[in-house]
Every structure is written in structure tokens, then in C-alpha cells.
């Protein structure tokens, strides 16, 4: 993804699928936060697709640490997530 960010002329739009997601360890969380800080402004909209309330809460929590617009969608609304990304 870092190569895509270097080559991109505009902020990237991401679709994150939380399939088989079993939680996040502190070390991984730290790495994600560092990545977000290093690439602030290079990521545009983020659509998070998951299936549980804890994943929805995690997406909301993550949105507090980014300037990117982030929305959560259930798996059965993945098409809506893709359309939202196209329009953002």
C-alpha cells in the first residue's frame, strides 16, 4: 500500500473487510497508529465492512485517530460501501 501512496496523485480510497477478524493486539494497534500518522493526508475515504458490533465500535474508535472520512458497513451492505467510496 505504501507504494500506491507514493504513486497516487490523490488520496487513496480504501475498502477494509474485517473477515475472520479476531481482535487487535496492542503491538499491532501501535503499528497501525504509526502508519496512520506517517501517511496522514494520503488516505481519503475508508469504508470498513464487518459483521459485529465490536467491529463497528472499533471502526468508530479508529475514526477518532484519522483525518480520513470513515464509515462502517455490514457485509450485506458491501455494495453500498463501494458506492459510497466512489462518491466520496
3-state secondary structure the chain: CHHHHHHCCCCEEEEEECCCCCCCCHHHHHHHHHHHHHCCCCEEEEEEEECCHHHHHHHHHHHCCCCCCEEEEEHHHHHHHHHHHHHC
Parent domain of 48 = 2-16+26-87
75 is a domain residue:
yes
Q: Does any domain span residue 40? A: yes
pLDDT in tens, 45-56: 999 999 988 889
Task: Indicate the pLDDT class of residue 4, thresholds 50, 70 and 90.
Answer: low
In the chain, the number of structural domains is 1
In a domain, 58, yes or no: yes
Residue 66 lies in a domain: yes
Residue 68 lies inside a defined structural domain of this protein: yes
Highest mean pLDDT among 23-27, 66-70, 79-83: 79-83
Average pLDDT over the chain reads 79
Amino acid at each position: 500500500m505504501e507504494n500506491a501512496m507514493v504513486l497516487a496523485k490523490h488520496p487513496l480510497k480504501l475498502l477494509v473487510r474485517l473477515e475472520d477478524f479476531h481482535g487487535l493486539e496492542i503491538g499491532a494497534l501501535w503499528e497501525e497508529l504509526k502508519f496512520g500518522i506517517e501517511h496522514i493526508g494520503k488516505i481519503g475515504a475508508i469504508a470498513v465492512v464487518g459483521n459485529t458490533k465490536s467491529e463497528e465500535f472499533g471502526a468508530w474508535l479508529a475514526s477518532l485517530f484519522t483525518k480520513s472520512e470513515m464509515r462502517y458497513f455490514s457485509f450485506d451492505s458491501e455494495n453500498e460501501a463501494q458506492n459510497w467510496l466512489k462518491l466520496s
